[in-house]
Each structure stands twice: as C-alpha cells, then as structure tokens.
Amino acid sequence: MLLTLLVWAYTLFLCWIYGAWFFKNQPPALTVIAGMAVLTVFAEFFSLFFPLGWLIHLILLAGAIFLLATHRLPRPEFNLSVPGWLPLLVLLTAAVLVLVSATSRPSNPDTSLYHAQAIRWLETYPAVPGLGNLHGRLAFNSAWLVTNALFSFAFLGLGSLHLSASVLFLSAFALFWPGLRDLQTGRVSAASLLRLGFLPLGFYVLGGELSSPGTDLPVSLLIWVVTLLSVESAETDQPGQLLLITLLASFAVTVKLSALPLLLLCLPALWGAARRQLWQVAACAGLVLLPFLARNVILSGYLLYPFPALDWFSFDWKIPFQRVEDDRLDVLRFGRLGGPGELPAHFAEWFPLWWLRQTLNRRIIFIAALLTPLSALLARFKRPRLWAGWAALYTGVLFWLFSAPDYRFGYGFLLATLLTALAPWFPPLLRRWPLLPTRSAALASGLLLAYLGLTLVLAFEPQTFTARLLLPAGYDRAPVEACGLANGQAWCARDFGFCSYADLPCTPSARYWVELRGPTLRSGFRAVQP
C-alpha cells in the first residue's frame, strides 16, 4: 500500500496541475478529474507514435514543473468545515476502503481476457496496425486503457500497476461528499441530493471494480459527474461550465461508446451561450475524439469498432467484414441473452429472456427509471433546462436498452436518470421543516458510515494484507503455450481464452489466418487472403 499511496500522490499532483491550468477555480476533486481527461487525450496522441513509457512521463513532469514556475495556478482549497465529526469520518473511511480495495487482485474477467493485454501493447509499442486481427477485443479501443497504461509505471520494473480506477473513484467521492455538508447546514438543492445519492451507489455498484482497469467504473462515474454539473448549471440558470461538461462527456464516449447520449447533456448547458463559446465547445469535443478515432482506424481499419457499416477505409490491416459483424453480434448476444445462443431479432422475443435474468433490485431500478417521465409531467417541466438534462439521460437509458443491455453497462444512465427525476422534489420538502435536514444529515452519515465499515471488513482480505503493504496485487498469471500465426509464432491461452499480462503476442487460440505485416510486432497484423 506504500507504493499505492506514492502513485496516488504523483497521479493526483499531475492531474491537478493540468486540470488547474485548463479549468481554473474548480473544486480540487473536479480539477483532478478534468486533468485526468486532459492527460489521457494527450497520451492518446502520443500513443500513435510512441509507447507509453518513461518518455511521456518525462514530458508531462517537465510540463507540470514549467506550469508551476511560469503560471500562478490557483491553490487547491479544501473545505472540510462541517458541523459534527460524522461526515469527516465517512470521508476517511471511504479513503481507507478505496485503498484496501485498489490493492486487491483484479476481479473483472475482462481484465484477463483483454484489458491487461491491451495495456501491455500500449506500454510496449505505439498503436499497432491491425492489432484487432489477433483478437477482436483488442480492437475495442477505449481511452481508459490508455489512462491505465499511462499510469501503470511498467517501466519501473515493479509490474504493471492498475490504480487509475481508484484515483478517479476517490476524486469522484470527494466531489460528491459535500452533499453531506449541505444537508448538515440546511443548504439543500437538487444537486446536493444528487451528491448524496451517488455516495453509497458508487461503492454499491462499482466497488468491485476498484482494482481493475475495466471501463464500467469510469464511464458510470463520468456520467454521474457530468449529470451533477448539468443540474448545478440548470439550478442557477447560468450557461454552466460548457467546456468542462463537453470535455468530460466527450471523454466518457471515448471510454465506452455506450456513453454516446451523454453528449446530449451539452445542449442544456449551451442555453444562452455566445457564438464564440459554441466554437470552443466544438473544438474541445473534436480534440478529444480525434485521437480516439485515429486509434480505432489503426487498430481495426474502421472508424468505430465493431460497426462494419462504417467501412470507409481500405488498409491492408483492416479486419475482415464478417469477423467485425461477429463481434458486433456477440456484444448484442451477451447483452440480451447473457451468453451464447441464437440471437432473437425482435424486442418481444429477447426482452422477456433478458428480464428473467435480472435480480429483484435490478428490476426495481429499471422500472423506476422507465417511469421517471411521470415525475417530469407532475412537475409540469418547470426549470426546463433541468428536465432537458433528464431527457438526455433518459435517451441514454433507451440507447443502452436497445444496443447492449448488459446491466453493468447501464448503471450510469439508469441511476443518473432516476436521481435527476427525484432530486428536485426534496428540497422544498426539507425547507418546510428546518430541523429535518440536520437530523437527516446525522442519519445519512451514520448509515453511510455503517455501510462503508461493513464493506471494509468484507474487503479486507487478511490473508493477502501483508503482501499488499508494499505493492498492490498484480494481474493474474495466465498459463499459455506456443502456437502459430500464418508466418510467425504467438502464445495461446490455455484457460478460457485468458491471456492476462502474458508475453506478446498472445491470443485466445492459434491464428493461422493472420500474418505479420513486417519483420517485427510493431509492423502490425493482417488477415491472410483466402
């Protein structure tokens, strides 16, 4: 855990410097989140030509020192003044829980399937043409894997660290935590209640992902952060933080394409914006999306993967159409059926099967989110910007349901939609009874503290605690064996297609229809013509 704390300190410092340079006068936690997005975009551009190793850190560190020396960056202001000790104890307990969870072994099965391999390619080589020919999942380009490769510090020889999720989660929790303070002091608003709702939901829904470089945690947190910014903007009837909302929404899309409807949340924030701001928003979104799209083309030959309809290029490394279509159908099949099987074409055929696989609490969340239009109708759409934001989130729920309804992909939109529809109703009720907010704050803090304490006990893992005191647990070791490509050698997974962090190149099985494009792995891969 000692190394984890050092990596946290370095990552937070670097993210805060670049976030504060681009976005001044923001809460420190939000500055860190913005800085992480900025650094990831820079790393994506860098990864087109260089591996993500010591050189990029030398450049970023030199840039941070230059900014500190030549610019008067605002000092981070931490407002921890709250009546009572319970909210502070909640914050401290959450930090300890994140630390303990982050040092555990990655539990997401997709990490062993392809996350770790994709990160190792990023650490070792620039973007490799046709890499997706080795394994279609390696073409599922995500900016979050770039973030993890950037802060993995594999060049130190201590293993590939996967602590970016914990840094983002800790920053988001610190951003949501003032909701307890607002409730304690009676300054309640819809945004305050959103913060309160996201505090326990973060651990309940995403706590198991804290040690993994998976994409479900960051995209859900980014959806919630952008939702919070949008609601705050709507409540104050101000144009809002246009560039920050655009940056984080665009970044979420590059983390996972299922976040695409989040870009609609930029529209309410554009209310009353000047023409100059519109150009700034377009430029910001373009800069975030450009390296992501470029990496897609290099890895797969397609602008977006796996969408074979966007077949605009004829590079020799392009993944064959049918394999792309198979990957697209696999995503649908896994989301609708939860595994292999014949894919029903019509909603009436697959939805009952999907519904039967959901637990009771998931069904309740799903139904409640779908019924939120009732809340909008009862409110008669007062504060139109707030309900415009809700409509954008509701579109995200529908987009998730009909594109890839694996439940873990939908938590971000489902819970944001539900809380955004409910939050405006509570501030007027709390203001009618002046003593209620204070008592509610004590109750909320106590319940949250009890929940975090119980979760900490369950996550402690005493049998591995001593080993994790210095270093966090690494990736699982996957057994592999030598196998072949059309004109070379690879390593093949022996169990369930899991390569984990094995030597490159590793594939789920032999790839005799794939050949090297040149003498080295850097040259890339292409499918052999029949």
CA distances from 384 to 198, 373, 421 (A): 23, 14, 12
Q: For 112, which DSSP code?
A: I
Which candidate, 46, 242, 215, places its Cα nearest to that of 115? 215
Give dist(CA 346, CA 352) in Å, integer. Answer: 11
What does 167-182 look like in DSSP terms, one character per residue?
HHHHHHHHHHTHHHHH
Cα–Cα distance, 518 to 424 (Å, whole number): 60
Would you state the pLDDT for residue 80?
Answer: 61
Per-residue pLDDT at 388:
86
Distance between CA atoms of 399 and 376, rounded to whole angstroms? 20
Q: pLDDT tens digits for the chain (530 residues)?
A: 899 999 999 999 999 999 999 888 889 999 999 999 999 999 999 999 999 999 999 999 999 999 988 877 777 666 666 656 788 899 999 999 999 999 999 989 899 999 999 999 999 999 999 999 999 999 999 999 999 999 999 999 999 999 999 999 999 999 999 988 888 777 788 898 899 999 999 999 999 999 999 999 999 999 999 999 999 888 776 555 888 999 999 999 999 999 999 999 887 666 666 666 778 888 999 999 999 999 999 999 999 999 887 888 889 999 999 999 999 989 888 888 887 778 887 899 899 999 999 999 999 999 999 999 998 888 766 777 788 889 999 999 999 999 889 998 999 999 999 999 998 887 777 666 655 656 677 788 889 999 999 999 988 888 888 888 889 999 999 999 999 899 989 999 998 889 999 999 999 999 999 999 999 999 999 999 75
Contact 52, 150 (CB under 8 A): yes
* CB burial of residue 330 (10 Å; 0-12, 13-18, 19+): middle
Alpha-carbon span 163 to 400, nearest angstrom: 28
Strand order in the sheet with 489-493: 480-484, 489-493, 506-507
pLDDT score for 404? 85
Confidence (pLDDT) at 436: 61
